[in-house]
Amino acid sequence: MFIACFFLKMSDSSLRFASAWYCPFAQRLWIALLEKGIPFKYEEIDPYNKTEEFLKLNPRGLVPVLIHDDKIICESAVCVEYIDEAWPQKPKIMMEQPYDKAQVRIWGDYATSKIIPLFYSILRSDPENLGETQKSFVENIGSFVKAMSPTGNFFMGDSFSFVDMMLIPWMQRLPVLKHIKSFEIPSDIDWYPRFQKWLTACLNRESVKPTLAGVEKLIPVFEKFIKKH
């Protein structure tokens, strides 16, 4: 079922999406494309065995890469903003009002700079530093949750937006941290119910569900990542 969704989205579209099925950064863009209902061609890339053809698209060798009418766009957050502007029909991923646009950018950047790096730090941490890293991770997620709208399911309330897409791929992977590092977000923290409400709503979003890989498939990917880093 997970692999089949690639083929369901294949079309004669001028939009190509180069990705690796397990990459959470690429998942951001994948969710956005499905949310907007934009036809695209999916191209699977193995980041550990990059072809010359792919390196011509992105010399850094990173996914995702978006190719639109022979124009190349890289970096997941930039790609998401690009498709929202290039296909301006609703739903508006970046929101409509200036203040709301600012909020999703601010907190999307917060997720990218303050939460996601700590996810990888936990995976790589030795026992001496693991506790402090986990503490910072929980605190930063807490700051993100406390900034959410008090009403509605998503960060911006009833609107599923850019900011949700920026973080949900890693929160989907929290069971990987539990398996590898025995880490879980404590359920007795005051903001946990709001976090769980957000997480459940995001994971059940129609644009998110086709992008989800099972934990049993992701664990070997992250074990390989740890060995290489």
Helix (H) or strand (E) holding 15: strand 15-19
Overall size of the chain counted in residues: 229
Annotated active-site residue in 23, 74, 79, 202:
23
DSSP-derived letter for residue 89 is: P
**Beta carbons within 10 angstroms of residue 156's beta carbon:** 19
Determine the Cα–Cα distance for residues 7 and 28; give it in Å rounded to an integer: 19
CA distances from 165 to 49, 54, 81, 112 (A): 27, 25, 11, 11
The answer to whether 23 is a known catalytic residue is yes
Determine the Cα–Cα distance for residues 203 and 81; give it in Å rounded to an integer: 21
- What number of helices (H) and strands (E) belong to the chain? 11, 4
Residue with tokens 């977000």: 185
For the chain, how long is the longest CA-to-CA vector?
Answer: 53
Q: Is 154 helix (H, G, I), strand (E, B) or coil?
A: strand
Which residues participate in catalysis according to the annotation? 23
